[in-house]
Each structure stands twice: as C-alpha cells, then as structure tokens.
Amino acid sequence: MSTSSTRKQSDVLYEEAQTHIVGGVNSPSRSFKAIGGGAPVYMERGEGAYFYDVDGNRYIDYLAAYGPIITGHAHPHIHRALMEASSKGLLYGTPHALEVDFAKKLKAAIPSMDKVRFTNSGTEAVMTTIRVSRAYTGRELVVKFSGCYHGHSDLMLIAAGSGPATLGSPDSAGVTRATAKEVITVPFNDVEAFRNMMNEWGEQVACVLVEPIVGNFGIVEPKPGFLQAVNDITHEHGALVIYDEVITAFRFTYGSAQQVYGIEPDMTALGKVIGGGLPIGAYGGKAEIMETVAPLGPAYQAGTMAGNPASMATGIACLEVLEQPGVYEKLDALGARLEAGIREAANTHGVTITLNRLKGALTVYFTDEIVTDYDGAEKSDGEVFGRFFKLMLENGVNLAPSKYEAWFLTTEHTEQDIDETIAAVNRAFAEL
Ligand SMILES: Cc1ncc(COP(=O)(O)O)c(C=O)c1O
Ligand SMILES: N[C@H](C=O)CCC(=O)O
C-alpha cells in the first residue's frame, strides 16, 4: 500500500508540465480530465508489479503502460537484453541480424503472417495495413467497429474508443469531412448490422479493421460466431480482414487472438507487448498482400527508427519470458482471483458493477447491464468510476484513469498483491 497519501511533488511537476507540455501530458489518456481533474501521479520508478512515485508512495500497478508491460516493470531478462543491445549502438539505419531473428520469432508465433515489417508504434502499423489493403484491392472505403481504437491516424479517429472516447472526442477535430466519408462504422458483435452494411457498400470496401477481443472500451469478447461471420462476409465482398492485435497479441496466449478463435485474417497489426516496453509496431500478412509494400511494390511505408536494435532485443527478450511454461495459466489464475474478490466486494458493499474478464485482463463497469458493445460500455457511470479510481489511488493501486480501459495483470503480480488489491477495492467500495 502507499506509504504516504501526499503527492506534493506530483502536483509541483504537473503545474510545471502544463507550462511546457500541452495539457501537461504526452498522451491525452494520461490526463485526469475525464475523472474529475487533478494532477496525474508522476512515477519515479517501476519494479515488478509496483510503481513508486516521486513522493515515495508505492502502488500496485494494473496500468502496465496500457498493456505492454506484461512481464512487469524492469524485468531483469529484458533489462539485460537492452543493455547488451545498447552497448553495440542504439541505431544503425542499416539492416541487422536481430530484426531477422525477431521477424522469424513473430512469424512462428503468428502463422497467418508470411512476411512482416516493423514500425515504431501501433498507430503506424494499423495506418499502413489500411494503405496496403487499398493498394492491394484498388478500393478506398474502410470499415471499423464503433468504440474500437486503432491509434491516432486520421482515418481511425472516427468513432474511436479509449482516449478519444474518454475525453469526449470519438470523432477528432482536424479530421476532414472527406476523410470521415471514407470510414464506415458498425456496432461490435452485431452480425446483422455488419452484413447489411456490407451488402450496401461491400464492393467499395478495401478492408475491415477488427480488434478481435476489444480492449479499448474495456475488455469485450466477440460473441460466438461473430469473428467468423465478419471474415466470411468480408471475403464474399472481396475485401480484406485486418486484425488489430496491438493489445491482444501475446496478452491472452503465446501468439494472437486469431489463434484463440481459429480464424485467419489477411493482415495483422501488432505493437505494445512485442516491444517489451520500448516503442514498436509491426504488421504482417499473406505474402501476396505484403509484396505490395515498397521496395517490392507500390505501397510506401518507411521509418528511420523502424526495426531499431534496442526494440528488437527487448521484444525478443519479452517473448522469451512469455514462452516459458505456465505464464498464461498464472495470469488467468490471478485474474480469476481478482475477479472473484471484486465481485464479492461489490456484493458486500451493494455496488452495482458488470465485470468483463479474459485471463489476465479485466474491466469493471459501473452499470448493471452486460457490456458487449460500445453503447453498453458508455452506460458505465463515469462519475462513479472517477471516484473509485481516486480511492484506489489513495489505497495504493494504480489503474488507468478512464472507465473505458482495462486492468492488466503481469507475470510479476503475486496472490498477495491480488489480496491487497481486493482489500483496497473493499475500502474504496465502502466509501463510494
Ligand atoms: C488496439 C490498438 N491499436 C492501435 C493502438 C495504437 O498504438 P500506439 O499507441 O502504439 O500508436 C492502440 C493503443 O494505443 C491499440 O490499443
Ligand atoms: N487504450 C490506449 C491504447 O491501447 C491507450 C494509449 C494512449 O492513448 O496513450
């Protein structure tokens, strides 16, 4: 639990940050605007499942940097890999062996990808899959599901979840009307709406972007048959299916969500966990489609930092940790323990919640309705969430400051951490 409830140094840093950094933060999701304001907590150090802030408070962390830190903070194996890589120079601008090793490792884990290309972020990876799908099909329209977040490229800021939804701008200003007209949105988990839309527009659609397990309006699993129907209908109309597995890859199993459901997309976008904590993205797919990319084909994509040795080394090291036996079983068992404890706390204190969990990721919605799509997630009471979030912080637990985000378990959480967290939830629910 936190050693002190004061966060004076955080307040001072935030005050200063606002003078120099827009909104005081380098990603809007980090601001506390949507949960009633106040200074975000300035972390000084992460170690395993814990964060220590600049005022000396300790927190059990479930943010995990919005997903990437699945092996906990400062994991020794990843740290060693980074030290070794950086001792040989941080950036080459030339090909090097580690990028070949990592490409092979990713392909072995996600067999639908014949070829891959590394980028610097999930945003770039998704943005490029769209470009490639357009180049390959010769079509222009793009379909996405409402409330899913696929990064901050112009096209993907239509009906976007996560940060944009949290801050009330699912359709960002600055995206032109012409761009918005290139994107069609449909509700997640609604096969009929998807089929009807494709019957009307399908012949002009280049690609359908799917978060196969949603992570950006909380954790929402696809209903049985939904992903298969999306694949079948999309292919009937000659369009490509792109799985955005930036959150899901290596989060629920060693590999991707497509393997969990036994469905192959045409292309896959990756990020987060595959960098082991350093900036990264990647995309891959069937050879015929990937060969549309320069220098083989006419679709251009590039990056000065792409495939840099440090990100390759930490990515490989992270996957080496995750491929050890028992990792995902442990994440599931800890997740189940946490879920049971939160449910019991809600019963004890008469707090209405809906809890969605898949293995080591969960979301607590403050609503009595089941959440299978974005409309459902929107019903979660943001004002109650804001109070809950702040009470959890006071009780030494760090969550994402948004009702739309997930709690992420790491390999470093212990049963004792979970029990401490459940005790904190009980104290928070008692005061809500
Ligand atoms: C599913 C999904 N796609 C894409 C992105 C964009 O990735 P990045 O923040 O690395 O640009 C994110 C998160 O930010 C994400 O959750
Ligand atoms: N939910 C987002 C990505 O998954 C959060 C990342 C961000 O907006 O900074």
Whether 54 and 389 have beta carbons less than 8 Å apart is answered as no
Tens of pLDDT along 388-428? 999 999 999 999 999 999 999 999 999 999 999 999 999 99
Angle, to 10 degrees, between the axis of helix 97-109 and the axis of helix 309-322?
30
Whose CA is closest to atom 3 on ligand 2?
A: 66
Ligand 2 center from residue 185 Cα (angstroms): 20
pLDDT of 336 above 80:
yes
Give CA–CA dist 207/52, Å, rounded: 43
**Per-residue pLDDT at 3:** 41
Sign of the torsion angle spanned by Cα atoms 210, 166, 52, 343: negative
Tens of pLDDT along 73-83? 999 999 999 99
Give CA–CA dist 276/292, Å, rounded: 29
DSSP 356: E
pLDDT of 165 above 90:
no
* Long-range CB pairs of 199-204, under 8 A, 24+ apart, other chains included: 201/141, 201/143, 202/233, 202/234, 202/236, 202/237, 202/238, 202/239, 203/139, 203/237, 203/238, 204/139, 204/140, 204/141
pLDDT of 272 above 70:
yes
Ligand nearest to the CA of 246: 1
Whether 373 and 189 have beta carbons less than 8 Å apart is answered as yes
Question: Mean pLDDT throughout 191-199?
Answer: 98
Which amino acid is it at 358?
A: L
Assign 160 a pLDDT band (cuts: 50, 70, 90).
Answer: confident
pLDDT of 1 above 70:
no
**Per-residue pLDDT at 59:** 98
Instruction: Tell how strand 58-61 and strand 397-398 pair up.
Output: parallel
**Per-residue pLDDT at 166:** 80
pLDDT of 350 above 90:
yes
Ligand 1 center from residue 405 Cα (angstroms): 12
Ligand 1 center from residue 101 Cα (angstroms): 24
Choose one of 154, 272, 273 to mutate for the ligand 1 pocket test, by most ligand atoms within 8 angstroms of C-beta. 272
Ligand nearest to the CA of 63: 2
pLDDT of 194 above 90:
yes
Task: Return the bridge partners of 219, or none.
Answer: none
Question: Mean pLDDT throughout 284-290?
Answer: 98
Choose one of 126, 149, 150, 399 to mutate for the ligand 2 pocket test, by most ligand atoms within 8 angstroms of C-beta. 149
Assign 5 a pLDDT band (cuts: 50, 70, 90).
Answer: low
Query: How far are the Cα atoms of 195, 207, 294 from residue 132, in angstroms, in the given order?
Result: 24, 10, 10
Assign 167 a pLDDT band (cuts: 50, 70, 90).
Answer: confident
Ligand 2 is surrounded, with C-beta below 6 A, by 27, 29, 66, 149, 162-163, 216, 247, 405
Assign 87 a pLDDT band (cuts: 50, 70, 90).
Answer: very high
With a 6 A CB cut-off, is 151 part of the ligand 1 pocket? Answer: yes
Residues belonging to the chain: 432
H helix intervals, 219-361 = 226-236, 257-261, 287-290, 309-322, 327-349
With a 6 A CB cut-off, is 155 part of the ligand 1 pocket? Answer: no
Ligand 2 center from residue 163 Cα (angstroms): 6
Question: Mean pLDDT throughout 19-34?
Answer: 96
Count of CB atoms within 10 A of residue 270's CB? Answer: 31
pLDDT of 4 above 50:
no
The residue with tokens 């943001």 is 382
Ligand 1 center from residue 52 Cα (angstroms): 25
Give CA–CA dist 14/366, Å, rounded: 29
DSSP 239: P
Ligand 1 center from residue 216 Cα (angstroms): 9
H helix intervals, 114-253 = 122-137, 162-166, 177-180, 191-201, 226-236
Give CA–CA dist 318/277, Å, rounded: 9
- DSSP E strands in 309-390: the ranges are 354-358, 361-365
Sign of the torsion angle spanned by Cα atoms 291, 294, 297, 299: positive
Assign 90 a pLDDT band (cuts: 50, 70, 90).
Answer: very high
Ligand 2 center from residue 295 Cα (angstroms): 31
**Per-residue pLDDT at 161:** 83
Closest CA to 154 of 185, 114, 126: 126
With a 6 A CB cut-off, is 356 part of the ligand 1 pocket? Answer: no
pLDDT of 351 above 50:
yes
Question: Mean pLDDT throughout 116-129?
Answer: 98
The phi, psi pair for 221, rounded to 5°, reads: -85, 155
**Per-residue pLDDT at 103:** 98
- Calculate what percentage of the chain has a pLDDT beyond 70: 99
User: What are the DSSP calls for 40-91, one per residue?
Assistant: PP-EEEEEBTEEEETTS-EEEE--GGGTT-TT-BT-HHHHHHHHHHHTT-S-
Whose CA is closest to atom 5 on ligand 2?
A: 66
With a 6 A CB cut-off, is 28 part of the ligand 1 pocket? Answer: no
Choose one of 129, 150, 250, 267 to mutate for the ligand 1 pocket test, by most ligand atoms within 8 angstroms of C-beta. 150
* Full strand arrangement of the beta sheet holding 141-145: 115-119, 281-285, 267-271, 240-244, 205-210, 141-145, 183-186
Whose CA is closest to atom 1 on ligand 2?
A: 162
With a 6 A CB cut-off, is 119 part of the ligand 1 pocket? Answer: no
- Which ligand 2 atom is the nearest neighbour of the CA of 405? 1
Tell me the CA end-to-end span of the chain in Å, nearest whole number: 19
**Per-residue pLDDT at 2:** 44
Catalytic positions: 149, 244, 272
